Structure 1
């Protein structure tokens, strides 16, 4: 998917039921004229009307999708009780990401006692330690989809906003842990801001803050509610 595109309801309504994001794989389960019937990892289905320049997966992708369907695995949302590493799908000993408590992730498959997990930014890997994980119900899943789409809209708006030329830098602290998103507009957290630590706001991007940590790491803080200014 070269750009974000709406997924329209199968009932023929003009209201999108979701949004397909670049960098994430979806399964084409049928065709209706020039449109595709697409399905996401969370089971959400709908019509993709604009199929121009989409990237098709290779045979391995199709085989994996068929295997997942055959296994009957039901995707579900889950959260971890403590931070845990997400390991590469190639069985390497290298962590590709870290799952954080308080964040919902999508289980898209099972590998023995491990979970094949997917984050909001499309990053996938194996969660080997599944003890104590909290499973979300259907309402949680729907809420998480809405929150993810809203976060994507906020990030796109912040990236597109012109920098404030008269911005006065200030120190601030967050009331609860919050992700610092990449400046390039991808749904990738480059760091997590922790309560009790002071960060420097070096610019404004619409309603977001361009923040900088002590190690020089910079990113966009989308949720600025309740921050304490120094």
Structure 2
């Protein structure tokens, strides 16, 4: 499947101003990239739109990048069943503070199973099943997400090396296999509460997410989700 750039504009947010870029695949599905401090590659000439002619300027920093799959319930409705909303907001703030980075916002709701099936899985979780088993009970994969749109999106801004904000080794592996140098994996654990501690434990224990084993996900040890304290970035 191929992806093409459609349009871009400025996007002021409570975290600061981003450039917002829209991409579309062959099926008309739209994906979004938010950037700070990054130029766009001219697809005709292969050069950056704002190249520097001064060789004495310091080399641009490796951008801080977050691959974030759409989560309507978490991102828009502030659901406490997951950590998606806090992850998105924390990543936006961290990238603004870094001054150079991107969020690849991929339109694949519910780990790729869609909104309706996600809510069906929620209903099974309400009955006591964990997030992985709920998907399997519906005859769906545990994780149906794909990342093939990430390469064209990063190529659009001339990025071939990233500091990747993720706990998911699959994202690191995909970028590495497709020629993107992940120079650093930046862990992030935010939004822990008594409604999603088991969900996070399932991601760690059954889906291979790289949470520090010393972090206690019990509800009586919930973490502060304040944007200034919840993400541990190497600066």
Q: TM-score, normalised on structure 1? A: 0.25
Bigger strand share: 1
TM-score (norm 2): 0.25
- Structure (1/2) with the larger helix percentage: 2
Structure exhibiting the larger radius of gyration computed from Cα positions? 1
Highest RCO, 1 vs 2 (Cα 8 Å, sep ≥ 6): 2
